[in-house]
Structure 1
Amino acid sequence: MKTHYTLKTLSALILGLGTVGLAHGAGFQLLEQNASGLGSAYAGSAASGENASAAYFNPASMTLLPGMNVSAGAVAIKPSFKFSDGGSTNAVGARPGGGDGGDAGSLGVVPNAHFTWEVNPRLWLGLSVGAPFGLMTDYDEGWAGRYHSEKFSIESININPSIAFKATDTLSIGAGVSYMHLDADYRKAQFVPSIPTGAMGNPIPLPGGDLSAKVKAKGDGWGWNVGVLWQATPDTRFGLSYRSKVKIDADGTTTLRNRSVPTSIALAPGMSIPNPIAGLLPLGEYDAETTVELPDTAIFSVVHQLNDRWTLLGDVSWTGWSSIPELKIENSGVSNSTLDLRFKDAWRVALGAHYKYSESWTFKGGVAWDQSPVRDDAFRPSSLPDNDRYWLSLGAQYNFSKNTSIDVGYAHLFVKSTSVNNNSSKDAGVLKGDYDSSADLFGVQFSHRF
């Protein structure tokens, strides 16, 4: 029976769609590993060495920090994803009904903590803890795109010890190793078609409806990072850093529940029979696993001390999202599946400036262009409807003393007008329409030198 075959592959498709969020590029790969860089749009991140968070962006930058340094903070991120339906359909080509889903953006907080230690004039050790991936989209239940996504969330933690060596008075090198853990939770509806009278020999119409589907998966992986810092002149330095791919082996469960498929059919008052479609539903919990290779990244930065008041910062970074052209899902008890993603490598360019108003106050500003790895409307998932975005950032630093400071930063992300015409999954139908998206970020960072 065609209906039974369609439902049989559901758990594979759910896990595949849920894992999209793990590797959905600019909007999902979090730059916010400190709040001190937020005010200048993270320009100069691999050459700044402003506080102990340098250990994450470029381990060689630790050599700019004498003694012991600690830095900790958090960035609150509030994205907005508002969908306008433009002709979405379900798996049989009919209009699915439901609204536009409300604002799917959800508030998230990205914490960070860093430590560096100057062991001797040539050797530094560091440790960074942060969340390099994480966000959530949450639509109203029953919206028009419910067969693609209703809720998606992911949390991560990255632990990154590092070491740096000052090779000469102007050249430093550094390296580190990372352990990453990921947790994902994805929920959607699954369309179950009705069978009209006479189809496949049935004498009465058999009603369909929706299933509720949920996948939870978690996995771990290891990576490494290296960096170089060159003080070209007393006023100008360059930083170059590279962070490797991280292979995540994720294990999870897919759970299917009946939402609105009638379990019986009323023939007359007080008389009913079981609905054969309900009896074919593969309800329950299934084991599932997949492997995803998160992309590598490279950053080239420059910091120039223009005069006693002004510091200029620049950044060009690259992310190798083409490491994920597709996802292959293996399941226990149901069919395997392959999800076509076609991610592209992405670039980011940032420019910033610091103005030292006084010994206590420094003001910051920055702009950036951030490219999405999703370039085709047909492969843009509703779990994160990403697109190119532009940053406008402002921030301030207050020095309580020469060893203690606090940073605050704010950024607004203007997201390019986003269309979607996703028909990559026959079971989900076509999601067609437009997104109006943006994001606001606010961060606080505390730093101290012992």
Structure 2
Amino acid sequence: MTMSRSTQFSFYVLFGAASSSAGAAGYALIEQSITGLGRAYSGSAAVADDASTIFFNPAGLANLSRKEMNMGLNLIAPRAEFSDRGSNVNGSPLTGGDGNNAGELAKVPHFYYAHPLNDTTVVGIGVGAPFGLVTDYGDSWQGRYHAIRSDLLTVNINPSIAFKATEKLSLGFGVNLQYIDLELSQAANFGLLMNPAQPQGNDGRVRLTADDWSWGYNLGMTYQFTEATRMGISYRSKITHDLTGDGEFRIPQNVSGQAAAVGIRDGNINGRVTLPESASIALYHQLNSKWAVMADASLTRWSRFEELRINSDVQALNSVKAEDWKNSMRYGVGVEYQANDRWSWRTGIAYDETPIPNAQRRTPRIPDSDRTWLAIGASYYYSDNIIVDAAYTHIFMKDTSIDDTDSNGNQLLGRYKNSVDIVGVQLRWLFD
């Protein structure tokens, strides 16, 4: 029996759990600002209306004239519902249910602080989660040999600095110190040891845990064409993680002897994952004292993700899986309205391309598809120092197909119906 599939799932969450749960396409989380959420993150590299610009474009810090502390929380409620279209193992139907809704409610916080040093230089620090979330199908669904639970935590610490090079041009730079921690599990088909003709009778489980610290950088510029019009260009570097951890098997007692005889046991694992770089260009234009519009286009270099290779001192935990993702674009447009001294409103729409090229490269951990964002948000100016922001976004996702076959002949064949709802709240405290 081959057990190489037991760690092929590693790639699915080594860097972001199931992207059906993530806010952005692939496995990224763009949820780093509640004001940004309210306009579907359109124009974020140019708007620079609060300290969250540290994440989207550090050059925007130069637009902030007061010290600011920004604390926000996103509640992300994904739906990932599978319907079977003939899943089988070597021609025999895979037993089990459809897994219900694999998405779980995720809480994604962020924190930013900006501190002007003088009229031209501003420093700041941000803490957020650029990749992550959780999915869980349960032990008895049809795709249990492909995925059960995927749980990833990332923490990104982003000290930054910006300065005005001229009256119109501002430049910014930040360092990203990033921690990643994961837990992955799926069923192990030990029935193959007992009776290859009836392979679904003795399920065990395999679980991987791993973590790593690494670093990258982000930089950007803003250019103020006129008092009303600003352009922003930003770039976030790739970050390479060399993960190390453990692979653990849960083996049914009646097959423990056979499993030991073929070398199936717990062991160490390691693997390298490169999180892709991204770039964005954005425009912000103040129409008048009440209205502003913004737009952007962003590229993520998902084509770096060609394969995932997992190494272990246990042969059963070694694997290589081809991915062949493609680069993807995101486009957004938004509008803001300053109703009065107390209230401002915003809305936006965005289109987010999936990097997954076809059904054969789609997996139950990442059943991603093209996304359309519709967002609305508001800010309440409680005082000169306290601002409360709130936003809601619904993400429509195209129904998509999956045709994923593992090395043991388990073919997951079906359709996914996905969507995401996001609610966010944020407190901004401005002080001198």
Q: Does residue 74 of structure 1 match 2:67?
A: no
In structure 2, the CA distance between the partners of 1:262 and 1:17, relative to structure 1 (3 Å rule), is: farther
Q: 1:10, CA displacement in angstroms? A: 5.0
Checking the alignment, whether the CA contact within 8 Å between 1:21 and 1:383 is kept in structure 2 is no
Deviation readout 1:248-301 (Å, 9 max, x if unpaired): 110111111124x734xxxxxxxxxxx964554645421000001100011111
Partner of residue 117, structure 1: 115
Q: Does residue 216 of structure 1 match 2:209?
A: yes
Partner of residue 239, structure 2: 246
Q: 1:15, CA displacement in angstroms? A: 3.3
Partner of residue 272, structure 1: none
Checking the alignment, whether the CA contact within 8 Å between 2:17 and 2:135 is kept in structure 1 is no
Rounded Cα–Cα distance in structure 2 between residues aligned with 1:290 and 1:130: 24
Q: 1:328, CA displacement in angstroms? A: 1.4
Larger Rg: 1
Rounded Cα–Cα distance in structure 2 between residues aligned with 1:156 and 1:352: 29
Alignment of 1:24-39 (within 5 A): 26-39=25-38
Rounded Cα–Cα distance in structure 1 between residues aligned with 2:417 and 2:199: 39
Partner of residue 375, structure 1: 357
Over the aligned positions, Cα root-mean-square deviation in angstroms equals 2.2
Q: 1:371, CA displacement in angstroms? A: 0.8
Checking the alignment, whether the CA contact within 8 Å between 2:189 and 2:200 is kept in structure 1 is no
The amino acid across from 2:235 in the alignment is Y
Checking the alignment, whether the CA contact within 8 Å between 1:12 and 1:288 is kept in structure 2 is no
Percent pairwise identity: 36
> How many residues were matched structurally?
426
Please give the TM-score of this superposition, normalised by the length of structure 2.
0.93
Q: 1:36, CA displacement in angstroms? A: 1.5
Range moving further from structure 2, 13-22 or 344-353? 13-22
Rounded Cα–Cα distance in structure 2 between residues aligned with 1:385 and 1:318: 20
DSSP 3-state at the match of 2:47: coil
Structure 1: which 4+ aligned runs deviate by more than 6 Å? none
In structure 2, the CA distance between the partners of 1:447 and 1:95, relative to structure 1 (3 Å rule), is: same
DSSP 3-state at the match of 1:31: coil
Deviation readout 1:50-90 (Å, 9 max, x if unpaired): 11111111111001101211111111100000100111112
Alignment of 1:435-446 (within 5 A): 435-446=416-427
Alignment of 1:16-415 (within 5 A): 16-19=11-14, 21=16, 26-90=25-89, 92-194=90-192, 209-259=202-252, 262-263=254-255, 277=258, 280=261, 282-334=263-315, 336-415=318-397
Checking the alignment, whether the CA contact within 8 Å between 2:8 and 2:308 is kept in structure 1 is no
Deviation readout 1:396-430 (Å, 9 max, x if unpaired): 1001123321100000000011110112x223611
The amino acid across from 1:305 in the alignment is Q
5+ residue gaps, structure 2:
none
The amino acid across from 2:388 in the alignment is I
Rounded Cα–Cα distance in structure 2 between residues aligned with 1:206 and 1:306: 66
Rounded Cα–Cα distance in structure 1 between residues aligned with 2:141 and 2:51: 45
Checking the alignment, whether the CA contact within 8 Å between 1:191 and 1:428 is kept in structure 2 is no
Q: 1:333, CA displacement in angstroms? A: 2.6
Partner of residue 271, structure 1: none
Rounded Cα–Cα distance in structure 2 between residues aligned with 1:251 and 1:195: 29
